[in-house]
Structure 1
Amino acid sequence: MRRWGWLLCCWLLAGCVSLSAGGKPERPHEAAVKQTEAKPLPKDIHLVALGDSLTEGVGDGEGKGGYVGRLVPLLSAEDGVRTVTVTNLGKRGRRIVELKPVIKAHEREISQADLVLVTIGGNDVMNVVRSHFFDLSHERFVKEAKAFASRLDHLILSLRTVNPDAVVVLVGLYNPFSSTLPNIPEIDDVIAEWNSASLAVLSRYERTIFVDIQDIFADRDDLLYRDEFHPNAAGYEQMAIRVYEALKERKEWWIGRLLQ
């Protein structure tokens, strides 16, 4: 009897386990692993911003860095994010043909980015205006929109070559020209067509997001800086929220990849 009692005691100790909700044995270390998997440690997000004056934040009277600067605290508050590091390469007056050398010069930063944000195209539209001020027509804008789309395709391809995994976000164009281009009543349609062409380009690449902001600034002069072209602080705030909402819908793209 003593022998059988001793064997029974050993068997009970060896089989000491905790039962899961479904009744399946689960050892303590396995439960700890599952808890770690369910609640991953926060990660660092590296963001590179490319483009024109909207990326630079021209017109932001509060000096908070335009939409990029306002986006940082929104992203930082997300579960799974510890810090957000920004490399801002925006410069006033830039057109799309001027971005390729910027990418070349900053391949290291871009290769390490989780997010690449781009604003470009406003100065390309303005170039059409300057070049054909006395004979502006809807047809000229349509022709230039096709050329812009071709250059955008090469731009996205360049970014993908440097960094195949980053989420690329292109912020669309808005219309600040209603007071400066009264002889082109179809300017809203022109902007919409350029945005549609850009969206078509991005649709050919994975992990890309197009953010439409045209509606934000429609008939909203109160969101423009005193130059009536760039957003003011309130305008940039609205842009940041719109970009944040778009990124949150694809959160698994820029946080999920880091947590695998």
Structure 2
Amino acid sequence: MPEMTQRILILLLAPPLLVGCSRAPELPLLPSDAVILAFGDSLTRGTGAGDGEGFAEVLAVLSGREVVNAGVSGEESDAGLARLPGVLDAVQPSLAILGHGGNDTLRRRDLEQTKATLRQMVVLARNRGASVVLLGIPKPGLFLGTHPLYRELADELEVPLEDKVLADVLADRELKADQIHPNAVGYRQVARAVHRLLTDAGAL
């Protein structure tokens, strides 16, 4: 009988512990006049879609917030890090969506260095008063999946991460303009996924 009682107590206590461990990072609520910065490379710029059809522009409509598109096509992460301070000073965002590193993987850069550079970007944005969300970039290959460095970094820095949508979109030929860029429909899916993440994290 004591053994049975002990098992019941373990079952009763286990669920709250599991829930507490799986809790996702939260974000401060964005006021209606908050500015969101979308910072990255061509996937942020919206390459593959028409003007105003990138995920940043669609996210502005969904969120009701100003979203500044600061994507630069072809940019590698070290160049992004050098560019970021000036952009942060000019935009003064409440939230930064960081989607960088794709060109590093395509050009076979040292990904430990890429991870370190992305870490510096997150710290830099936070030091300027902005919350940060990571947008995971797929790794090249036959079977697309987000590179694990994004999850490692998100867990380390307790940053919300959207790590599925780009891989899912680029695995569907109906949603992409070429091998590495979504089309307008694909970018809308990216925007919806980021919007959902921001909502779930408490920012919207």
Give the TM-score normalised by structure 1.
Answer: 0.60
- Correspondent of 1:89 among 62, 67, 70: 70
- Correspondent of 1:152 among 115, 118, 135: 118
1:1-260 equivalent positions in 2, closer than 5 A = 43-61=32-50, 63-76=51-64, 84-110=65-91, 112-128=92-108, 144-163=110-129, 166-174=130-138, 177=140, 185=142, 188=144, 191-192=145-146, 194=147, 196-206=148-158, 208-212=159-163, 213-217=165-169, 219-225=171-177, 227-251=178-202, 254=203
Q: Which runs of 5+ in 1 are unaligned?
A: 1-41, 77-83, 132-143, 179-184, 256-260
Q: Which runs of 5+ in 2 are unaligned?
A: 1-30
Distance 1:219 1:49 in 2: 23
Distance 1:218 1:90, change over 3 A: closer
Please state how far the C-alpha of 1:214 moved relative to its aligned partner: 4.6
Distance 1:200 1:127, change over 3 A: same
Q: What's the secondary structure of 1:44's corresponding residue?
A: coil
Distance 1:228 1:74, change over 3 A: same
Please state how far the C-alpha of 1:152 moved relative to its aligned partner: 1.4
Tell me if the contact between 1:52 and 1:92 (Cα under 8 Å) persists in the aligned partners.
yes
Distance 2:138 2:107 in 1: 16
Please state how far the C-alpha of 1:236 moved relative to its aligned partner: 0.2
Distance 1:238 1:148 in 2: 26
Percent identity for Structure 1 against Structure 2: 26
Q: What's the secondary structure of 1:93's corresponding residue?
A: coil
AA matched with 1:224: K
Please state how far the C-alpha of 1:203 moved relative to its aligned partner: 2.2
Distance 1:107 1:214, change over 3 A: closer
Tell me if the contact between 2:96 and 2:132 (Cα under 8 Å) persists in the aligned partners.
yes
Displaced runs of 4 or more, over 4 A:
none
Please state how far the C-alpha of 1:65 moved relative to its aligned partner: 3.9
Q: What's the secondary structure of 1:87's corresponding residue?
A: strand
Please state how far the C-alpha of 1:43 moved relative to its aligned partner: 2.7
Distance 1:156 1:92, change over 3 A: same
Residue matched to 2:18: none
Larger Rg: 1
Q: What's the secondary structure of 1:43's corresponding residue?
A: coil
Please state how far the C-alpha of 1:86 moved relative to its aligned partner: 2.6
Distance 2:116 2:161 in 1: 16
